[in-house]
Structure 1
Amino acid sequence: MRKWKRVEGPSGPRFRSALAAHEVELLSSLVTSLLGMLDDREASAPRDELAEITGMRTGNSVAPQDDTMKRLLPDFYRPATEHPAGSSAAESLNSALRSLHEPEILDAKREAAQRLLDTLPAAGGKFELSEQDAHAWASAVNDVRLALGTMLDIGADGPDRLPGDHPMSGHLDVYQWLTVLQEYLVVSLMGGSR
């Protein structure tokens, strides 16, 4: 992967980079897996008769059970302190907000992921993105990083390395590669170079 280069043009900035064929294949596989996870979550939403009548989509009212999906679709509200009466008010609020907003969140994540797939250079090589496409890439790569980071149990303190014989050691390298890809793109989006 090359660094991103921001090029100002008459119709706005463009973002250029290059990926090797194996990087394209890896990124495509990861993003396709992400799309599958999002589709599975949407398919698990209960049927809502009112939504069918009114056209208002509703989603799951229950938080995901899988840690990876919990990271991609966190609760909307977390109380600053424990309420003496329990957490039922926070759970009720999260349930209502999740039901109302999760379909749009899933759509936005799916759209960003699909845009990334649509703009990947098929066999690797140089490519250029519009500003809108670059934002979609940043979002989709972030979602893939969150998912992979959750699977690797990466928190604020690492791990920076895994033993070479660890079954997930190669995945940590992929996570770090995604981090660099995203960081350079975000810096370019902000108008800088790194």
Structure 2
Amino acid sequence: MQTADGARFRSALEPHEAALLQSLVTSVKGMLDERESSAPADELEEITGMRTGHSSPPQDATMKRLLPDFFRSATDHPAGSGTAESLNSALRSLHEPEILAAKRDAAQRLLDTVPAGGGRFELTEDDAHAWAAAVNDVRLALGAMLDIESTGPDGVPADHPMAGHVDVYQWLTVLQEYLVLSLVGKPLR
């Protein structure tokens, strides 16, 4: 819907959907906070005002999915893999703090606008973008926990300890699709 103040996106969530979304986004936000708080101290930050972050990738598979390497060598470089590792280390150190901040801000914006007990709600265009980003991060995290790769959620074996969460992953996929389609002005299916 278009208003004098810009686009507005209206929808509704059932109480259990709102509670689930709040819980999942809060969990991902906590993981992002933990990653940021574990960054090494930087003495130059006070002088330069530039924050730096970790230079090494996360060890946890879920965080690796949320904070992937910046550069992947398409071929074996004659100088070895050290070149790609060095480039990733430098880029991660410089950009991870702002990436974490953007992800946390999107998560917080979703948490601030999701209806606490479910029900109808209205989002601004900026809110809808934040929702799409936050839902994407939750999907990435849940996808890593479910070992979802290119095979999609149908490739999760029934005996996987988190196989029951595939429905949640698929619901998040539909939610994200609706958000993206609404943002680009396409009719919903």
- Give the alignment partner of residue 60 of structure 1, picking from 32, 47, 54: 54
Superposed CA offset, 1:89-139 (max 9, x none): 111111111000000000000000000000011111000000000000000
- Give the alignment partner of residue 25 of structure 1, picking from 19, 40, 45: 19
SS class of match (1:160)? helix
- Give the alignment partner of residue 37 of structure 2, picking from 24, 27, 43: 43
Counterpart residue number, 1:126:
120
Assess if the C-alpha contact under 8 Å between 1:31 and 1:117 holds in 2: yes
Counterpart residue number, 1:109:
103
Does the alignment pair 1:149 with 2:139? no
Counterpart residue number, 2:80:
86
Assess if the C-alpha contact under 8 Å between 1:20 and 1:125 holds in 2: yes
Superposed CA offset, 1:8-49 (max 9, x none): 112211000000111111000000000110011111110010
Number of residue pairs matched? Answer: 188
Counterpart residue number, 1:74:
68
Label 1:159 to 1:130 Cα distance change in 2 as closer, same or farther (>3 A).
Answer: closer
TM-score by length of 1: 0.93
Q: CA deviation at 1:173?
A: 0.6
Structure 2 gap ranges (5+): none
Counterpart residue number, 1:4:
none
RMSD of the TM alignment (CA)? 1.3
Superposed CA offset, 1:38-92 (max 9, x none): 0111111100101122211000001111111111111111111011231111111
Q: CA deviation at 1:166?
A: 4.8
Structure 1 gap ranges (5+): 1-6
TM-score by length of 2: 0.95
